[in-house]
Structure 1
């Protein structure tokens, strides 16, 4: 029976109706077989994920990281494994002295050298020998282009011949410009007595030897520790800043530029052969060179560069020193920054028009200058090269007219390659360059090893291929060999070994697969995986949680009757 008040049913009738409909919606209880089937389906999905999917994903996405000797690499960078030393073996020949006098002279000279030396890593070792002239034909096959002994053992850095000469008041020295020989002449009464502890001749020889290697010591000290005791540190720093980074091969580009139609050709082949080839041959143990040439007519100044100004006092067209950096018209002149694998050194021979000749630098009337770490420029003023009318440049430059330019280019090349300015002997300067380059490459490769170790430690997600591990092993091996060669005084071998170490270190640090992963952080991986795994993982996870809750509830229900009993 229902009581109506308007359109609403009584509360009692509404409750009965709701109870009846709820009773009808209750699903039938699941059978144990259905529960077990659902459990097995969920377990099967998770089993496939855990035992098949996850291992495959781990295998296909794992990053291979070859083992690297991190601590050893860091120790090389910190200088804990090798402290470079440079023992120079100097042979001293005293053909006009008795054996006892010669031994006493060497002993006292060595003591004086040791007292004067303020840089322990670089020291001179005197060794007595028979009278050996550095220019005898019998020994030419035992000495290479820079004066280093080819045979095994310590290289002979210098040969000192101590000779008696009548008419001298005090000792004097003479350094051969084209060999590694120093002649010391002394008065006959300056033969050191066995009782003298510091004879004047010993002091003179020690002072001369110190002077020969003062710049080398300062340069090596600046490279190793930044100190240049006993030498102008500013000049050392300036020379190192102007020089090119060491390379196995340099490319030399010689260019003839002129603002008009002439000169249109030059005898460059004979000029290079006569004026430059001997220097390049002397450099062969240090670096190799390739050469190309070009001629560019109507090569005008850059519109942005200030034009030359005529100076009546100097009677010449002048360029200000601060404007020299804008002299090269890089936009229109065909100057390649790099040709081949090695760095390029550009040497420009500019022949100004007769209407703007002579052309010089205003401040010092120089006709050449160096562009640091790039090349050099020489202004060949055509005042003496014009034809009979004096109105135009000659169409052809002979190799005789190119001599001043190529003598300047040779000097500029030495500067750009980091060759020291002293001593006067070129073979000695190239020996110094060999030791300086070996020290530079040793420190550079060691620093690269330290940087690579810190990179792999800070970025555990980047791969380390087997090629990197092989290059690191080769680098460390050659670093050890370089240190050993330096200790033994075998500087040519040390440079060759340091060259390999630097090449392998650079190859390992700039491995393509490693560089690419540096810019792919873990956040990118999460952004890639979430859209793929979200729709699949959420249903599986929810079903697993429901099944776990059902199992827990069932276990509690089973425990309740047992507790009541």
Structure 2
């Protein structure tokens, strides 16, 4: 018999082996050392500390919009007319050489009372003062700092004559019109007061109109004006240019053909216009250039121009008009040599020229077809017309003598610039309050500070050239601060755009930090729970 394996057992007969326990009980990783747990916690904590103590401050510092401190309430006070109420104290000198000192003082007192009764605008103070009985030159308004000098002299009737070239008002009176020392009123005093009111009436109306159109509270506004006066002043304001210390005057000769090809414009300007420019020099500076343009076709082809044709006469597409030089506004004076004529109503002041608001003047000059040169004498009337229109474009009052008109222009421009600068300050303050996220650079704060400094100086010196200069600087600084480039750009940078920029950057950084902190917190809770269970089992044993 073949030998069988000594202990050969079939698979079916083999005893069961504990395979289930071996496969069910997976091999567990070794327990973490306490030092490793602490190290992992320190690593996560260090990342969070870097983010919170270093990353967030740097991000906050580099992304925070800088807002310089602005005196917002003071700016609003200027805008509302609380910081300065424009007041123009004008001194009027009375020269009465033929009166005794007591009679002159009594007349001055009665005239001042009559003037105060007639004046319904507190912002325009006319204060009378008695001049010493000296010569005319020593007591003129230009020498004693007065806005006007009244020269009283005896005569047969009561008359008043305003000197066209000096700020002097000559008044004659009958000798029996001198008030007695005990009189409470006087016909002569009332007459002088009415003449002063008439002389400065246009100035008072203009300043009153400026204040009424400004955003001042109702209690600071002057009394109302008639609709006709308001309409006239509105037209003048629309016609005149914005104030500038310098204007550029461009004189152009445009011809529809090859002739004329030259003109004596330099000589004509020197003879007919330069004296006026010299008179205006304390208020404005002027630069001048000239040009000749041949074959200049107008925008209309009609020989007879109707009123509606005037707006399209200037062919701006083909006429090389000089632009502004050095930032100064340009005033264009054009002499067009052609056969065009203007058909206007009989009450129109001219049928050869017309004024274009805030732009200049066009003068149509008719010359024989073979004229090759325009002489100085031929240019006399165009230059005189340009001079008259220049006053209108500068906003000069229409009534009164030339010195009074220029001094009035100084005061009107000072008030206009002061009100515009104050209004700009108020707009800037309201903008800063309405948009808390807008950037306010330090240059804006410096501009606001300079504006308010010069506004205060302008308010204290209204009526003179110093006040005009301070008001001009204040208006320029206020405009520069309001239109600061870096600040205006923030108006078009909404918060939604910031979120769209930051989320793609912060998301990948924040997710690992947050998930790591959550997992570490769960592991800590698990260890704490297991430790609590072991402690409970030990207590049971």
Provide the TM-score with structure 1 as the length reference. 0.85
How many Å separate the matches in 1 of 2:24 and 2:245?
91
Question: Deviations along 1:520-549, whole A, 9 cap, x unmatched?
Answer: 233222222222222222112111122123
RMSD: 2.3
Contact 1:218 1:228 in 2 (8 A): no
**Which position in structure 1 is the counterpart of 2:47?**
45
Contact 2:178 2:188 in 1 (8 A): yes
Pairs aligned (count): 507
**Which position in structure 2 is the counterpart of 1:475?**
451
How many Å separate the matches in 1 of 2:422 and 2:318?
42
**Which position in structure 2 is the counterpart of 1:404?**
381
Question: Deviations along 1:206-264, whole A, 9 cap, x unmatched?
Answer: 11111111111110001012465367211111101111111111111111111011111
CA shift for structure 1 position 25: 7.6
Kindly indicate whether residue 236 of structure 2 is the aligned counterpart of residue 229 of structure 1: no
The 3-state SS of whatever aligns with 2:147 is strand
How many Å separate the matches in 2 of 1:282 and 1:26?
105
**Which position in structure 2 is the counterpart of 1:379?**
364
Match for residue 464 of structure 2 among 491, 506, 531? 491
How many Å separate the matches in 2 of 1:393 and 1:334?
25
Gaps of 5+ in 2: 1-18, 214-222
The 3-state SS of whatever aligns with 1:341 is coil
Contact 1:90 1:125 in 2 (8 A): yes
How many Å separate the matches in 2 of 1:433 and 1:94?
29
Kindly indicate whether residue 515 of structure 2 is the aligned counterpart of residue 533 of structure 1: no
How many Å separate the matches in 1 of 2:535 and 2:366?
117
Kindly indicate whether residue 332 of structure 2 is the aligned counterpart of residue 346 of structure 1: yes
Contact 1:361 1:367 in 2 (8 A): no
Match for residue 310 of structure 2 among 324, 332, 337? 324
CA shift for structure 1 position 368: 1.1
CA shift for structure 1 position 409: 0.5
How many Å separate the matches in 2 of 1:21 and 1:286?
106
**Which position in structure 2 is the counterpart of 1:35?**
37
How many Å separate the matches in 2 of 1:74 and 1:351?
54
CA shift for structure 1 position 502: 1.1
Contact 2:132 2:139 in 1 (8 A): no
How many Å separate the matches in 2 of 1:361 and 1:21?
116
Task: Sort the Cα spacing of 1:218 and 1:393 in 2 relative to 1 into closer, same or farther, 3 A.
Answer: farther
In the TM superposition, 1:156-235 aligns within 5 A as 156-165=146-155, 168=156, 170-226=157-213, 229=225, 232-235=229-232
Farther-moved stretch of structure 1 (412-421 vs 275-284): 275-284
Kindly indicate whether residue 293 of structure 2 is the aligned counterpart of residue 296 of structure 1: yes
Indicate the structure (1 or 2) with the bigger Cα radius of gyration.
2
Kindly indicate whether residue 263 of structure 2 is the aligned counterpart of residue 266 of structure 1: yes
How many Å separate the matches in 1 of 2:517 and 2:317?
70
Gaps of 5+ in 1: 1-15, 150-154, 309-316, 387-391
Question: Deviations along 1:27-48, whole A, 9 cap, x unmatched?
Answer: 5543333322221221121122
CA shift for structure 1 position 49: 1.5
The 3-state SS of whatever aligns with 1:285 is coil
Contact 1:148 1:492 in 2 (8 A): no
The 3-state SS of whatever aligns with 1:457 is helix
Contact 2:131 2:139 in 1 (8 A): no
In the TM superposition, 1:403-482 aligns within 5 A as 403-423=380-400, 425-482=401-458
**Which position in structure 1 is the counterpart of 2:70?**
68
Task: Sort the Cα spacing of 1:22 and 1:294 in 2 relative to 1 into closer, same or farther, 3 A.
Answer: farther
**Which position in structure 2 is the counterpart of 1:363?**
345
How many Å separate the matches in 2 of 1:243 and 1:349?
21
The 3-state SS of whatever aligns with 1:156 is coil
How many Å separate the matches in 2 of 1:326 and 1:259?
16
